[in-house]
Amino acid sequence: MDDKKDGIISEKAIPLLETRQITKVYGEKIKTQVLHGVDLIIEKKEFVSIIGPSGCGKTTLLNILGTLDNATSGEIIFEGKNLTAMKPDELAAFRNQNLGFIFQFHHLLPEFTAIENVLIPTWIKDKRSGMKHKEHAEYLLETVGLKEYMNKKSTDLSGGQQQRVAIARALINSPQIILADEPTGNLDTESTAQAYELFRKINHELHTTMLIVTHDSELARKSDRIIKMKDGLIEKDCRTGVDECIEY
């Protein structure tokens, strides 16, 4: 392995995201420890699912990885940069530029059209929406199969369509990674399958790293790697098709 050339570490050697001994304790008086020292490395362009029983700490971990919540101790390193040391405004800019979020409930603004919802993160970033953003938003809505719906109000779309708008919105700033928490938890079987195909397409075509928390073992099975959590720790970390990860 020739990771070092002339003393410079090649891009391949730097993981996209790394955690070192992440712990999380909730509560002041009554303390509940939810994460117990999570070590995790996510490589660029990986397609990863996180599974595990309810309450094992999946959302907590994802929120910490996405810098939406602070760890009690431990470090998060993104492309070699320690996020733990960043100031809140620096972190907000970092988040907006590098991370895309998808939640179980899409949180679209009801009075806005599909394309306006997709453009919202660019308003925060650039304070205005230029033509290049609009073209990009149109391209993303086409990618998620909603080009002809782009001027419809989000309330006039089906649940699956609304979630696809949320997926396009998560992609508008060309994030390096999508962090998704139960993105299909609120969808019917067909919309779930469509959303999964879309995640794959995004991963292949846009090279976006995907990290998806899911209860859906069918969806997890289609990932390249499954991380199984239990009681605030990683119990198993396996490659689908290579290791047997899902026994339940």
Ligand X SMILES: Nc1ncnc2c1ncn2[C@@H]1O[C@H](COP(=O)(O)OP(=O)(O)OP(=O)(O)O)[C@@H](O)[C@H]1O
Number of residues that bind ligand X (CB under 6 A): 12
Site string for ligand X, 60-99 (x = CB under 6 A): x---------------------------------------
* Only segment of 56-64, 98-106, 139-147, 186-194 that touches Mg ion (CB under 5 A): 56-64
Q: How far apart are CA 126 and CA 87, in angstroms?
A: 20
CA distance linking residue 146 with residue 117, whole number of Å: 13
Residue 57 engages ligand X in binding (rule: CB under 6 A): yes
Tokens coding 44: 């660029």
Window of 51-59, 132-140, 143-151, 167-175 that interacts with Mg ion by CB under 5 A: 51-59
Q: What does the alpha-carbon distance between residue 85 and residue 177 come to, in Å, rounded to a whole number?
A: 20
Nearer to ligand X, 46 or 181 (CB): 181
Q: What are phi and psi of 110, to 5 degrees?
A: -65, -30
Instruction: Indicate the residue type of 225.
Output: R
Place of tokens 């420890």: 33
Q: If residue 62 lies in a helix (H) or strand (E), which one and from where to where? A: helix 58-65
Determine, following the binding rule CB under 6 A, whether residue 34 of this chain makes contact with ligand X: yes
Closest CB to ligand X among residues 57, 160 = 57
5 binds ligand X (CB under 6 A): no
Nearer to ligand X, 59 or 154 (CB): 59
- The stretch near ligand X (CB under 6 A) out of 10-18, 47-55, 110-118, 218-226 is 47-55
Q: What interhelical angle do 114-126 and 88-98 show, nearest 10?
A: 140
Chain centroid, CA 98 distance in Å: 10
Least separation in angstroms between residue 143's CB and ligand X is 28
Looking at 19, 49, 59, 67, which residue binds Mg ion (CB under 5 A)? 59
Return the DSSP state at 67: T
Sign for the CA dihedral angle at 210, 214, 217, 219 comes to negative
Which residues are at the interface with ligand X (CB under 6 A)? 26-27, 32, 34, 52, 54-60
Which residues are at the interface with Mg ion (CB under 5 A)? 58-59
